[in-house]
Structures are given as C-alpha cells and as structure tokens.
Amino acid sequence: MKIFWFIPTHGDSRYLGTSKGSRTVDHAYMKQIAVAADNLGYEGVLLPTGRSCEDPWITAASLIDATTRLKFLVALRPGVTTPALAARMSATFDRLSNGRLLLNLVTGGDEAELKGDGVFEDHATRYQTASEYAEIWREILTRSHQGESFSFQGERLQVEDAKLLYPPVQQPYPPLWFGGSSEPAQELAADQVDSYLTWGEPPAAVKEKIDQLSHRAAAKGRHLSYGIRLHVIVRETNEAAWLAAEELLQYASDDTIAAAQAKFAQMDSVGQQRMAALNGGSRDNLEVSPNLWAGIGLVRGGAGTALVGDPQTVAARIQEYADLGIDNFIFSGYPHLEEAYRFAELVFPLLPLEVQQKLVKPNLTGPFGEIVANNYVSPLQADNKGELVP
C-alpha cells in the first residue's frame, strides 16, 4: 500500500463551487504542500493536467529541490507532445530527481479543450494514438540503456531512428500509469501500462474493473498493479466528518451545480459519465456506498467522491479497497495543505504495519507538543491501542 497526495494546480479552497474561502495557488503554496507531503511520509503527489491547471511538468520540476523522497506523478498527453520529446523530458526529469518520476498517460475527455490544444481526434482514434504513443515512448526509454535507436511505423504515429542519449535512472523506464473506463481504455491499459487507476467508485464497481483488467492483462501475458483516486474528509468523529462534508458545499448554488453538470454531460469520457451517475446532479442521497460521498462531483470534474468518517472508519474503508487489489491510493482534501497534515496525523497510524514502517519517522527526541506554562511537558495519553503517546 502506497499513499499519495495531490498538488492542486487548478486552485484550492475551503469551499467548493464558490470564490468564498478560495486560496491563491502560487509557487510558494504548492511548495508548502509538496514539502509537507514529503516530510509527512507520502509516497508521492499527483499533479493534474489541462487548461484549467498550471503546467504539471514545469510545476513538478520546480519542486524537485524542495523535496527529498517525494515522487511526482506527471501527465503524458498524446497529441499534445510527441512521444520522442516526452521520452527526453521523462529521462531528464528522472535523472534530475534521482528516480522520482511517475507518468500518468492522459488521453483527455473534453473534446472542446482538446481542440484548443490542437487535437481533433474522436474518442476511438485518441486511444489508437495513445497506444502507439505509449509504445514509442517506452521503447525509446528502454533502448536508451543500451544506446540503441528505435523505429516505428504505425497507423497514427511514426518515428525513424529515434534515440535517447541520456537514459532514465529507473529501468527500463519510469512506471507508466493510466486510468479509463471505456472498452478502448481497458484494452490500452492491458496492452501498455504498468498501473491502472480508477476513480473512487463503490467497492463492487472497483472490483468489477479490476477483474476485467486482470483477465485482459493475463491474456496478454501481463500483470498490472492498481490504484484509486479519492478525496478524503476525516475528522476525529463521524459526526464532525459528515458536518465538514456538508460545509464544503454550503455555498455552492443550484445554478452552479446545474452548469457544472451540463458541462460534464458534454464530455465523451466514460469515467466522467460514471462519476456523474453517482450523484445524478442532485444534493440528495450522496452517500453512494458506506462512507463514500459523491458530493464533490456535483461541481468538480474527474474524481468526484470522498471517504468520509473518523480515522478508524476511513482506515477500514481504505483496507476494503486494498483487499480488492488496490496498491496505490491518491488522496486529496480541501484545503490541501491542512488536510495533508490532518489525514497523515489521524489515519497513517491506523494503516497496516508494513505501511507505517515505510513512513518517514523524525529522528527526534521529546518533548513533543506545546510546553505547558513554559515549564511542563504535555501529559501522555493512551492511543487507540492502549499505548502511551504524547
């Protein structure tokens, strides 16, 4: 089990669907989140992509020196860049970060946005291009370790004698991740990628996806790892967590929700359609599975669900997904800086022992916590296991 956080390059706020409580996302703020995630022991961070976001490659590169262990999950966009250029960018980033790059293959689901980027392919054609793109990208990086070149003639893409002089640190290439729910997406995942990502659907739906992908990959002699993208709203009690969920949407108007849902309906992404179906555009009945809340998807595209509850409940729900075969968990919460701390402090101690052992442990001795009256160390309390802790 590996726990990731999120860099909100498209904006951050205390509330959704309104400018109230909004927060400027500049480099200083993104650096704060990255440093916090690094110090707290998160495996890495996902950076979103699209015209609503700061560029993920430049943003991630600017955070290399601010962090020591943190990995960066950055988007590859077929059609927006060439696979050979993407291979050079990947190798350089991996070398400069000493092997801390992960790649997220993104085909895009908004045709209007894609046309603005110069991509005029329909849904099926985009996946055909993405498959050839991924193959070229992988082969260039893989062959770079032996100093070999690569030529490819496909229906959509071609390269001749493509060569990379500076190989990546990770061999044969930085891991390639991908998420998609359509038939072409699943075929692409089974063929080309290392880890398949799903948005936070109910466990039964996630299990169905994993079973389908596992069978497809096995038929091709391949094995995939699996990840999930979720928001999280964790508080010390269940009541406080559900209140926080309600507060997150308290300033989102019905008109804003309707406008967002209308835009989502125009997208050809099957994954986005599945997210929208969970909430139905309504504020009613948003708990679509125990402690799985679909309210975020009323106004936010992409990942639209959150785990809601006290630390023990949220940890139990995470374990349910882990039991299905999920290895990588990408979480986020509003605002992202404070929630990175809250989630780590409340939930990390409840994760499986082997995960806790991987987390960063400060090499410090007490006293811990604020000193009382400039003289007294904060008293020890018993944790949920009956052990004394500060």
- Phi/psi for 68 (5° steps) reads -120, -40
CA-based nearest residue to 332, from 20, 36, 1, 26: 36
Check: CB of residue 329 under 8 Å from CB of residue 2: yes
Superfamily of segment(s) 2-76+194-389: Luciferase-like domain (3.20.20.30)
Amino acid at the residue 115 = K
Q: What is the pLDDT of residue 371?
A: 66
Please report, in tens digits, the pLDDT of each residue of the chain (390 residues total). Answer: 999 999 999 999 999 999 999 998 999 999 999 999 999 999 999 999 988 899 999 999 999 999 999 999 999 999 889 999 999 999 999 999 999 999 999 987 677 888 888 888 888 899 899 999 999 999 999 999 999 999 999 999 999 999 999 999 999 999 999 998 888 899 999 999 999 999 999 999 999 999 999 999 999 999 999 999 999 999 999 999 999 999 999 999 999 999 988 988 888 788 888 888 888 888 999 999 999 999 999 998 888 999 999 999 999 999 999 999 999 999 999 999 999 999 999 999 999 866 666 665 555 566 666 766 666 666 655 455 444 444
- Give, to the nearest 10 degrees, the angle between helix 27-40 and helix 336-347: 10
Do 310 and 236 contact (CB within 8 A), yes or no? yes
Predicted pLDDT of residue 324: 97
**SS3 label, residue 173:** coil
Residues 326, 2: Cα–Cα separation, whole Å: 9
For residue 382, the SS3 value is strand
Tokens of 336: 């992202």
SS3 assignment for 198-229 = EECCCHHHHHHHHHHHHHHHHHCCCCCEEEEE
Supply the pTM of this predicted model. 0.91
- Separation CA 52–CA 248 (nearest Å): 21
Strand partners, 81: 78
Strands 306-309 and 225-234: parallel
Give the C-alpha separation, 308 to 242, whole Å: 6
How far apart are the C-alpha atoms of 104 and 99, rounded to whole Å? 15
pLDDT value, residue 108: 75
**Nearest-angstrom CA–CA distance, 349 and 336:** 20
pLDDT value, residue 301: 84
The burial of 58, by beta-carbon neighbours within 10 Å (0-12 exposed, 13-18 middle, 19 or more buried), is given as exposed
Which amino acid, residue 114?
Answer: L
Q: What is the domain partition of the chain in residue ranges? A: 2-76+194-389
